[in-house]
Amino acid sequence: MSDSRLQELRSQVDVINLQILDLLNKRADLASAIGKVQAEMGTSFYDPQRESQMLTALEQNNKGPFSNETIKALFKEIFRASMALEEKEAKAKILVQRKTAEDRTIITLPDGVTKIGDGSFQLISGPCAVESYEQMDSTAAELNKRGVKILRGMVFKPRTSPYDYQGMGEPGLKIARQVADKYGMFITSEIMDASQISMMSDYVDIFWVGARNMQNSFLLKAMGNVRQPIILKRGLSATLEEFLYAAEYIVSSGNPNVILIERGIRTFEKATRNTLDIGGVAVLKLDSHLPVVVDISHSAGRRDIALPLARVAKASGADGLMVEVHPNPPVAMSDAKQQLYFNQFHAVMDAVEQLNV
Ligand code: PEP
Ligand code: MN
């Protein structure tokens, strides 16, 4: 007798479970429809006031046996699940997100031949900062011997101390352009502020947004309107998600040609200037169709480990590598400890060329 009573009660619970399941999914469909209307209206999906009203109404209608606290906790979990669903749908719409395995952004430079993101391994190199014509010319001559096409022409230096070398400004860009033209190279240079776009556009082939400006959304939006491709560096403490959203600012503002650079992140480790997040490079390659380049200079802060880092960069599946090279590193105006001597640069190139991945 009691056995069949147990069976009967259990089957009633089973029916209710299925009803709850059905209702939960109906609720999710409604929440998602609300999300679509809100997206059209340009408002955000999460409305804390509405959530609080719903919780109050539930408390008022709660006849027990569950306590108000339990009911609130259960419903908060339901609200959270709906939010997560919305976030997943929103992510799928992100432009920089990889949609298929073949999805890739290939960036072609003005010669129509040099490409980034096509499966080749591109080198971006040059001194930390432009210091003189002679310094740029001797460096470019060396890079040119190894077929490097993209030359650093940095003239605005975002230094930690305002008393450190701040860069040559426009006269430095003139030098960089002259030298690049002499060797058939392209200039990339860091921009600090949207007000510099028009001046810099006369000199640079690729704009560069540095780590400290990765979350400067106004600058990122302005980069959406320039014709040149954009190099975007990962912020000092930025997550990969924040990094990709920064790239999204540029792409959604109209410029699809973004190159991501991993440059190391801040950790507790002191042996290197930053910690190169090579796992992050693999994740970026998986999650996004944008080209990814590894900066082996700022991630290390030292030149004696350039060789293994270069090998790791290539083996990671990245689209290229960024390394600083200077004719006389110890007397460089900035980043003297990490810039490579010419012979070290050639050793890096040998290692990269020999490594088949
Ligand atoms: C640079 O590469 O010139 C530079 C300043 O690096 P970061 O922005 O990564 O510090
Ligand atoms: Mn530097």
Atom 4 of ligand 1: nearest residue by CA position: 210
User: Which is more confident, 190 or 47?
Assistant: 190
Q: How far apart are CA 124 and CA 257, in angstroms?
A: 16
Atom index in ligand 1 nearest the CA of residue 213 equals: 8
Using left for φ > 0, alpha for ψ between -120 and 50, and beta otherwise, residue 147 falls in left
Atom 9 of ligand 1: nearest residue by CA position: 211
Q: What is the DSSP string of 232-254?
A: EEPPTT--HHHHHHHHHHHHHTT
Ligand 1 geometric centre to CA of 261 (Å)? 10
Tokens standing for 33? Answer: 């429809």
Q: How far apart are CA 293 and CA 212, in angstroms?
A: 17
Please confirm whether the linkage preceding 65 is cis (ω < 30° from 0): yes
The sign one gets for the Cα dihedral 276, 124, 187, 331 is positive
Regarding the beta carbon of 191 and ligand 1, being less than 6 Å apart is answered no
Within the chain, strands assigned E span 107-108, 115-116, 122-126, 150-152, 186-190, 206-209, 230-233, 258-262, 292-295, 320-324
User: What is residue 123's predicted lDDT score, i.e. its pLDDT?
Assistant: 98
Atom index in ligand 1 nearest the CA of residue 297 equals: 2
Q: Would you give the DSSP letter of residue 97?
A: B
Residue 39 main-chain phi, psi, to 5 deg: -65, -40
Which band of pLDDT confidence, cut at 50, 70 and 90, is reported for residue 226?
very high
Atom 10 of ligand 1: nearest residue by CA position: 211
Task: Quickly tell me which residue has 């709660």 as its tokens.
Answer: 62
Q: Measured in whole angstroms, how far is the alpha carbon of residue 59 from the centre of its chain?
A: 44
Atom 7 of ligand 1: nearest residue by CA position: 211
Q: How far apart are CA 151 and CA 141, in angstroms?
A: 11
Q: Which amino acid is at 54?
A: M
Closest-approaching ligand to the CA atom of 209: 1
Regarding the beta carbon of 233 and ligand 1, being less than 6 Å apart is answered yes
Closest-approaching ligand to the CA atom of 322: 1
Share of the chain above pLDDT 90, in %: 89
Tens digit of each residue's pLDDT (9 = 90 or more) over 48-98: 898 999 999 999 999 999 999 999 999 999 999 998 988 888 777 899 999
Tens digit of each residue's pLDDT (9 = 90 or more) over 291-348: 999 999 999 999 999 999 999 999 999 999 999 999 999 999 999 999 999 999 999 9
Burial pattern 85-112, b for ≥16 Cβ within 10 A else e, equals bbeeeeeeebbbebeeeeebbebebeee
Regarding the beta carbon of 224 and ligand 1, being less than 6 Å apart is answered no
Q: Where are the domains of the chain?
A: 2-92, 107-354
Q: What angle do CA 32, 68, 18 make, to 5 degrees?
A: 50
Return residues with CB closer than 5 A to ligand 2 (ion): 128, 335
Residue range 199-228: mean pLDDT, rounded = 98
Regarding the beta carbon of 124 and ligand 1, being less than 6 Å apart is answered no
Q: List Cα–Cα distances, 282 to 57, 217, 253, 279, in angstroms.
A: 47, 25, 26, 5
User: What is residue 38's predicted lDDT score, i.e. its pLDDT?
Assistant: 85
> Cα Rg for the chain, rounded, in angstroms?
27
Regarding the beta carbon of 154 and ligand 1, being less than 6 Å apart is answered yes
Regarding the beta carbon of 273 and ligand 1, being less than 6 Å apart is answered no
Pick the CATH number of 107-354 from 3.20.20.70, 3.30.70.1450, 3.40.50.360, 3.30.420.40: 3.20.20.70
CATH class of the domain at 2-92 = mainly alpha
Regarding the beta carbon of 211 and ligand 1, being less than 6 Å apart is answered yes
Ligand 1 geometric centre to CA of 210 (Å)? 5
Q: How far apart are CA 166 and CA 40, in angstroms?
A: 45
Task: Number of helices (H) and strands (E) in the chain: give both, helices first.
Answer: 11, 10
Average pLDDT over all residues of the chain: 96
Q: Are 62 and 71 in contact (CB under 8 A)?
A: yes
Tens digit of each residue's pLDDT (9 = 90 or more) over 148-180: 999 999 999 989 899 999 999 999 999 999 999
Closest-approaching ligand to the CA atom of 260: 1
Atom index in ligand 1 nearest the CA of residue 129 equals: 3
